[in-house]
Structure 1
């Protein structure tokens, strides 16, 4: 089955470039994605990372929506632990008022925490193949969670003394504000303007069989599972979502999107050369340094890898889909078949913008 393809963009900043160029490249890629037939264009939320410019996804969503006409535009994902439901509804309501019927509100539960945790015991601890799809052991982020830099991020992302309410309460408040049914505990009606009645498509995103997957299912919302971030727990996320699903006014049956990290080129050798910096970039994230400016293939080749380095990033490298259009589409079809995805969300990072554009273009041609 050929399902729709969508794009997740981090607005990567390559070495030797600037955030302004990265943001202009995002607008350019969105226009090209629309022309190529992609269904959605989502912007990620990352903070304090020299190599990622998408720290304000709502601003970028408005810019991308203004630069396109058909493609759906949204967040992958707004991290609700960093903001209030009211602020989120007002921001997306504003964008929807200007670009009605095209905006997706993708919500993530994380407040800066890595997607897979050491307490996630739903996936086996050894690599396995399921229907031809590699499922590596789950990443355990213990060292990252203890990083002083990680703690500093949390300090800047929240007001002093602020605490994040339970996720289910936040989602209840958000949906009530969108529907115009919000009431305080003592019965006061409050209405978000803009926001109330906005025609946004609400999604939840998750990387494990945890709360996000269960809440999405229980509320009958569409769900996006992260194979590209946490391939070791993707099947647990998918299973938890389906097990919890209850029909809603929005959906009578589950609707699942699964992400994948891809890089497509005209030949295998070129694809592998362009993919060389990815491991070094992932290493920078998982060591707590934050995403570095994306290296050139030559810079990556010069890195002296240790066994510990390779182990740290192995799951992400082994599950990235790199190669010719035919090879990558074959692997994407396997991902779709094994997970039962109704849609695939692909993300691609290269040092040169032209190579990223070319990758998405070649994939769309081969897929459709």
Structure 2
């Protein structure tokens, strides 16, 4: 593992507003930059009462403007929701405003429910055009000839780094075929992590973008002064994920000492499995768990994420994680 980074969904805690969440995101990004995180990504979700990063490119610009050196980007933009030219213009503009600091991770999922997908896209194409859309987008960000009928301005010549994101084998195969960096969403979809990384590495084709495979894995983190405190703080995310899975999404719940009374056993088992690629506990516990994940999967980069109701506790959690990851980094 050479680098470590941070994924933020800009969670909206119970008792707070979207404005509070976006302010918390800026504070977290500034703390992450000071702690040594390489990049800070935000994700596109829509119609989610507990997530404030729907207009992802706008939030990326806000965070980039509030920081100075850390890379900022999308983890990711759900490309089926958008015309490739629009995303090229948005990220071309970001790259023009913040040179050499912007990343563009692309996902194939809608990032929402079907009704919201229809509202976003206006019409639903029956075919899967994701591979073609990715290549069209990369074309717009490249050295498009001056006489090309369509150009992204700003965008042309910015060469914003494009990543393929995935939680199955499809993204691994596409990233390998196109010679692009690959990020696996193991923080909520752990089952195919090992196989996806193996396929990506084995079938990678060098390209103008990348000479050899570069794989990132994601892991949940909830760190505190003690294991017990971290378990308590982590309960907010368990509750939020359980409610989402049972069709009751909402703001990020306050933590509780009594999860068993709020989440049925079968649901809790599924939630814990989905969020199992994670590290929860004191500094020593988190370091041990992250070390094990890195040894097992050998990522080039690890991206940590986590939702904690209290903003100060969330900042502290990622600071503790950064200290552990700094020690685990291999030059």
User: Hey, what does 1:260 align to over in structure 2?
Assistant: 219
Tell me whether 1:295 sits opposite 2:260 in the alignment: no
Query: Which residue number corresponds to residue 310 of structure 2?
Result: 352
- Is the aligned partner of 1:193 residue 2:153? yes
2:293 matches 1:335: yes
Structure 1 residue matching 2:68: 3-state secondary structure: coil
Task: Choose which of 175, 180, 205 in structure 1 pairs with 2:138.
Answer: 175
- For structure 1, the 5+ residue unaligned runs are 114-149
Q: Distance in 2 between matches of 1:288 and 1:237?
A: 29
- Answer yes or no: is 1:23 the counterpart of 2:10: no
Q: Distance in 2 between matches of 1:83 and 1:156?
A: 12
> What residue is the counterpart of 1:64 in the other structure?
63
Q: Report the Cα offset of residue 3 of structure 1.
A: 2.6
Q: Structure 1 pair 245/101, CA: closer, same or farther in 2 (3 Å)?
A: same
Aligned pairs, how many?
Answer: 326
- Counterparts of 1:223-242 in structure 2 under 5 Å? 223-242=182-201
State the match for 1:11 in structure 2.
10
SS at match of 1:322: strand
Q: 1:74 to 1:188 in 2, by over 3 A?
A: closer
The counterpart of 1:272, out of the listed 199, 215, 231, is: 231
Distance of 1:163 and 1:289 partners within structure 2: 29
Aligned residues: CA RMSD: 2.0
Matched-pair contact (CA < 8 Å) for 2:242–2:263: no
Give the corresponding residue for 2:240: 281
Q: Secondary structure at the match of 1:357?
A: helix
Give the distance between the partners of 1:285 and 1:331, measured in 2 at CA: 26
Q: Is the 8 A contact 1:100 1:199 kept in 2?
A: no
The reply to whether residue 104 of structure 1 matches residue 103 of structure 2 is yes
* Structure 2: distance between partners of 1:275 and 1:235: 25
Pick the aligned partner of 1:207 from 167, 189, 201: 167
Asked if the contact 2:4–2:37 (Cα under 8 Å) also holds between the matched residues in 1, the reply is yes
The Cα of 1:189 is off from its aligned counterpart by 2.9
Helix, strand or coil for the counterpart of 2:299?
A: coil
Asked if the contact 1:180–1:191 (Cα under 8 Å) also holds between the matched residues in 2, the reply is no
**Offset, 1:307:** 2.8
The alpha carbon displacement at 1:213 in A equals: 1.2
Q: Deviations over 1:153-198 (max 9, x none)?
A: 2222221355565111111111111114489xxx963211011111
Alpha-carbon separation, structure 2, partners of 1:107 and 1:275: 28
Q: Are 1:181 and 1:189, in contact at CA under 8 Å, matched by a contact in 2? A: no
Q: In structure 1, what is the Cα distance between the partners aligned to 2:206 and 2:235? A: 44
1:51 counterpart = 2:10: no
Residue of structure 1 in register with 2:329 after alignment:
none
Give the Å deviation of 1:319: 3.4
User: 1:206 Cα deviation (Å)?
Assistant: 0.6
Partner of 2:117: 154
Unaligned regions of 5+ residues in structure 2, if any?
Answer: 327-331
